[in-house]
Amino acid sequence: MDRRKGVRFHELVKEASKLPETTAEVRSGRAFAVKKPRRLFVILQVRRRNSFLLLLPGRELGGMTEQEPQERHGLLASEPRQSEPVLGGALVSWNTFWVVVFPLLIAAVVVPWLLDHRIISEVVVGLIALYLMIEGIILVCFPRAFQLWALQRPWNFLVRLLLPPIEILDSIGAGGTDLSMFTYRQWGENLCASGQVWLGSHAVVSKALTSPQARNHWLGEHPLLRSALPEGDTGRCVFLLSLSGKAAGGTGDHEAFRKCMIDTLFNDAAMRRETDDLSQSYMEQAAEDFVKMTSYNFYHASDGGNTSFWIKYLHHVIFGMDVRNPQEVTALYSFLFGSMALTHYLEPFGRLPCISQHKTIDEVADLYEKSPAFANFKVKPEYNNMTARELAVLMTAIMRIAGIQGSRMLMWLCTSGDKHGNLQTDIRPIWDSLNLDDDDELERFVLEVSRLSPPVTISHRIAQEDFSCEIKGKSYTFPKGTNVAIPIVYANIDEAAWGPDVWEFNHNRPGLKEKQVSFNSVNGVGDRECPGKGLVLRSMIRLLRIVGKKRRQQSAAQNV
């Protein structure tokens, strides 16, 4: 796609007017043209309204021919785009660093060396080494204290120079349950890590989850690569986790896109598929695999077992797809197995050609767009004109980051007996003692597991005003626009909310459902609740029943 920026708008109108049935509206602002084979589309970005106008040649709309249903294509993006709070920021963006600064540094070392001005090369290498040494010392010796200092003064030159690499490197492990709990024992429920202020009391987390949230391109504690996030042909970001709520400065895209997703994919038809014959056969096969496969193979093998079940089952329920034959959907299985594809979305890993998954994502989005669930898709104003393609690419990220990853992890935590995070008890004897025909008891079991070891440990928001908090007994103030972590893992062990037995497994504890925050909401309240919460809980109840009965049958047979 050829984009010519900075062209005068009247020139674009003149060029577009040569095409038949072309209309144009002239306003002051910045314009650019998008040229595709045999068609020219002119887009005007209006400065004051920050919106887009599309000039449409002939009877084709955004590449849609007359034979294609108009309802499957959005005509305009739902701009204006949300503002992204910028607090100081890096001295240069990561794009500029890799495209400009990094090559210049290499040239500054190599060229003088080749020209026999080695003293210049040595000075440059020395400065680079000094910078890396300082970064290493900060990261190893006092990453929390440095970030506590830095996040209070984001416009400081040293902060803008030193913080960006620290926050990326720190984010790699900061949100892991074990490391986050190690930090918790050192600093308490409030601290600074991964370039964020973590506020972890149950009361503060609950308020954050039930209030409108401003967002930027982060996934919990991880900065995201913008170019890796799902977007449609219009170029607008459709990744729900990056979009601010309308009441927090957003455009309304988050609410509209979420409604589109739920209405299209998490509807009554999907609920009926949860209990149909094919879903039942998937669960029966999972139970058979559980008792026949080794524990390691059940949770990690690519042929059968836990992950294979969730891929087949969720794609059948959500999309109406039949993916029993992996050879027919190779891209789907290669994208969803393992964890490597997750790094596609993360800064800076997604920049590496060996990690980038754009081609595979396009193939998976094609499968979704052709699925039965999309058959009657219509673009609607209430969805901010979200297109079928936009929903399909959004779902590739949702299924990869949350759908498969979170579901298989929850199954592992509930049935393996492994100790993980704050779940330091083999809970299989408790599972064996449950009334498997009691849905409420099984649901409480799942909720208590997710309390002690939540599949998603951290969410995030952007502070909409200056705020103060207490860290290690002292009060600190941070400016509006600060990136604030929402550590669900800390809220789940807040003794003030859960009582003195907070570290013990007790699925009959009072308030377990009412105070539950593991699904990014509080007892179902919150604009960002996991849309698959109901599906996952109902599915886990059925799985624990079917697999549990099979496990007890096997145990009884062995004891005869």
- Please write the tens of the pLDDT for every residue from 484-529: 999 999 999 999 999 999 999 999 999 999 999 999 999 889 999 9
Q: How many domains does the chain have?
A: 2
**Torsion from C-alpha of 446, 451, 457, 460, nearest 10 degrees:** 110
β-strand partners of 477: 468
β-strand partners of 468: 477
In the predicted structure, residue 54 carries a pLDDT above the cut 90: no
- The pLDDT tens digits of the residues spanning 179-235 come to 899 999 999 999 999 999 999 999 999 999 999 999 999 999 999 999 999 997 778
Same domain for 417 and 280: yes
The tokens describing 111, both together, are 């060229």
Q: Give the domain CATH number at 293.
A: 1.10.630.10
Same domain for 478 and 334: yes
339 falls within a domain:
yes
Same domain for 126 and 226: no
d(CA 125, CA 307): 47
380 falls within a domain:
yes
Same domain for 423 and 303: yes
Tokens 């993360």 correspond to 346
Same domain for 140 and 179: no
**pLDDT higher at 373 or 232:** 373
56 falls within a domain:
no
- The answer to whether the beta carbons of residues 221 and 143 sit under 8 Å apart is no
The tokens describing 333, both together, are 């299985």
In the predicted structure, residue 15 carries a pLDDT above the cut 60: no
Q: What percent of the chain has pLDDT over 90?
A: 68
Backbone angles phi, psi at 551, to 5 degrees: -65, -40
38 falls within a domain:
no
Backbone angles phi, psi at 59, to 5 degrees: -110, 20
pLDDT band, residue 21 (cuts 50/70/90): very low
355 falls within a domain:
yes
Contacts of 145 (CB under 8 A, 6+ apart): none
The tokens describing 305, both together, are 């077992």
d(CA 471, CA 190): 6
Question: Average per-residue pLDDT in the chain?
Answer: 84
- The answer to whether the beta carbons of residues 193 and 142 sit under 8 Å apart is no
d(CA 180, CA 194): 11
9 falls within a domain:
no
Same domain for 181 and 123: no
Same domain for 131 and 196: no
What is residue 542's three-state secondary structure? helix
Tally the residues of the chain: 560
In the predicted structure, residue 349 carries a pLDDT above the cut 60: yes
- The answer to whether the beta carbons of residues 431 and 414 sit under 8 Å apart is yes
CB atoms within 10 A of CB 499: 13
- The answer to whether the beta carbons of residues 274 and 313 sit under 8 Å apart is no
Quote the domain boundaries for residue 143: 95-152
219 falls within a domain:
yes
What is residue 471's three-state secondary structure? strand
Give ∠ CA 89-91-97 in degrees, rounded to 5: 110
First-to-last C-alpha distance (Å) of the chain = 71
**520: Cα separation from own chain's centroid:** 12
Q: Which helix (H) or strand (E) holds 461?
A: strand 458-462
Q: What percent of the chain has pLDDT over 70?
A: 84
- Picking from 152, 186, 221, the residue at the C-terminal end of a domain is 152
Same domain for 184 and 148: no
- The pLDDT tens digits of the residues spanning 274-298 come to 999 999 999 999 999 999 999 999 9
Same domain for 128 and 225: no
User: What DSSP state is assigned to residue 466?
Assistant: -
Of 6-10, 216-220, 477-481, the range with the lowest mean pLDDT is 6-10
**pLDDT higher at 349 or 56:** 349
In the predicted structure, residue 323 carries a pLDDT above the cut 60: yes
Same domain for 243 and 182: yes
The tokens describing 487, both together, are 């550590």
45 falls within a domain:
no
**558: Cα separation from own chain's centroid:** 44
Q: How large is the C-alpha radius of gyration of the chain?
A: 26
- The per-residue pLDDT for 331 is 85
- The per-residue pLDDT for 88 is 56
The tokens describing 372, both together, are 């039965």
Using CB atoms within 10 A of its CB, is residue 178 exposed (0-12), middle (13-18) or buried (19+)? exposed
d(CA 381, CA 173): 41
The tokens describing 70, both together, are 């108009």
Same domain for 390 and 269: yes
- The pLDDT tens digits of the residues spanning 84-139 come to 444 556 787 888 888 888 899 999 999 999 888 889 999 999 999 999 999 999 99
Give the number of C-alpha atoms closer than 13 A to the C-alpha of residue 176, restricted to the C-beta side.
8
Question: Which residue type, as a one-letter code, is found at position 244?
Answer: S
Preceding peptide of 348 cis, ω within 30°: yes
**Torsion from C-alpha of 296, 402, 364, 64, nearest 10 degrees:** 170
Same domain for 450 and 381: yes
d(CA 467, CA 477): 6
